Amino acid sequence: MTAKNTSAWTELQNLADAFGGTHLRDLFARDAQRFEHFSLRYEGMLLDFSKQRITSEILAALHTLWHVAEVPALMSSMRTGELINQTEGRAVMHMALRHSGAEPRYVGRNDVMPDVRRMLNKMEKFCADIHLGRWRGATGEPIRHIVNIGIGGSDLGPKMAARALTANRAKNIRVDFVSNIDAADLSSVLENCTPANTLFIVASKTFTTQETMRNAVSARAWLVAALGEAAVAKHFVAVSTNLKAIAAFGIDPENSFEFWDWVGGRFSVWSAIGLSLALAIGMENFRQLLAGAEAMDKHFFAAPVEKNLPATLALLEVWNTNFLGAQTRALLPYSQSLELLPRFLQQLEMESNGKHIDRDGNPLQCASAPIVWGETGTNGQHAFYQLIHQGGRLIPCEFIAFIEPDFDLPEHHAMLLSHCFAQSEALMIGKISEEISNGVSSAPTGEIPSLAPYKTFLGNQPSTTLLLDRLNPFSLGQLIALYEHKVFALGALWNINSFDQFGVELGKQLASRLLPMIEGRASIEGIDSSTAGLIAASRK
């Protein structure tokens, strides 16, 4: 159902009009218990959304919208394996990858859990063989360097998680990731590789992805030049379903790891796509990651909307985007280990919900996914926070922090948290000219009036803070699954299919057409003058 055509949407619009320029300062002044009224807790997670520009009446109206838009019904359809990705005729069952119970999980009439468990066991054996030195390279040396070659969901999820869990990394194993077709990416990794102890994982469901296969062919040539053709079978494995292409490449099909079309790329870190991650942190930690995600699954499906963390994040996004007019959201993790999380969520959220057609094939009647961007604190404070504070744009902000550090150096973590909490406070309260005057009363005569406008901060910038106990595999699993469910919920509220990505394909198709022109194998005909001019210039 299109939520925009409901009375609940109209009620929210009326509330937004009446809310007007109400300042967050005033909301806190009116309610001394605002933090308690607008925060949620679940298994080591605290979601504080008291600094959002909402009231109890607005929050209640958002909860009504959740039911009017029939989100719970679509949740049930997803969980039971219905083909909710209707444009591609596929189920959406990535949750089965972290399901540990005895209950079946069906796609159609097929229980997928035996295949899921078989693949996890195969990954576990492979990781043990690598970590214990049972898998040897062509020269008899143990593998010490893993290079994952993929792109998009076959790269960004495991890369982000491996970086986040650096404190949990396995000893004596280095894992690198190559995704960009730019030769600088692969070349810079190969410079630090020794052929005899390097293993490449080629991650491509079809084994035809252009960027991945170009990098894989180049890595293969590098290996063969050093160790010979026969070495390929000992130094390459594949995450794919195209066994024929795998064998033609020189990889033993027994050394391939399957995943399924009911697993979307950006939701695939839980599958064999996470093999590089499992090698980086160990299979026991990988299973903890799955356990954290499963815990969030249970919460999402069991908790009422009033207590539901993913639902609350989704509804706040709808409020900020569709009723307050925000066009972006800043993601601000105060954890250097989460430095790749903004990039990961750019793909997860904007590739999923960056759509202008609804599930019924009609033009969308409201704005969908905002632009997601961000950087770790405190680095971002010295880059773009100036614009957030005084740029005059509405930019909802999302802070993520941990009570305990994953790396402990004296005095570092308390200082980090002080900056995180201070920024959310400053965005909320701002600083008005009267406070500036009081704060610089010793300034020379005439300075205060001239400087006050420059030192004024309007505040009233909405933010949410997600505070977790500690960054570890379990909590990271919770965090990723939290955003996955938020993405699904937003798709349901906006009545769009969050699980196709046809917008990714057009550029690929045109690139295949232009490649022979750039290489001089085809004439530059039938294309626009700008593209023709660029190709001509590149051929010089």
Catalytic residues: 351, 382, 508
Residue 419, SS3 per DSSP: helix
173, 112 in Cβ contact below 8 A?
A: no
d(CA 314, CA 310): 6
* Torsion sign across C-alpha atoms 340, 344, 347, 350: negative
Q: What is the largest CA-CA distance in the chain?
A: 83
d(CA 313, CA 481): 13
Number of H helices, E strands in the chain: 23, 13
d(CA 231, CA 234): 5
Look at the block and give the residue holding tokens 């099909």: 253
485, 296 in Cβ contact below 8 A?
A: yes
Q: Give the total residue count for the chain.
A: 540
Q: Spell out the residues 6+ positions from residue 96 whose beta carbon is closer than 8 angstroms to its own.
A: 105, 112, 113, 116, 262
369, 352 in Cβ contact below 8 A?
A: yes
d(CA 524, CA 514): 9
d(CA 408, CA 457): 34
- Three-state SS sequence of 35-88: HHHCEEEECCEEEECCCCCCCHHHHHHHHHHHHHCCHHHHHHHHHCCCCCECCC
Please list the helix, strand and coil fractions of the chain in percent, rounded to the nearest 5, in that order: 55, 10, 35
Residue 191 in tokens:
């410079």
Give the number of other CB atoms < 10 A from CB of residue 502: 11
Dump strand ranges (E) for 151-251: 174-178, 198-203, 236-239
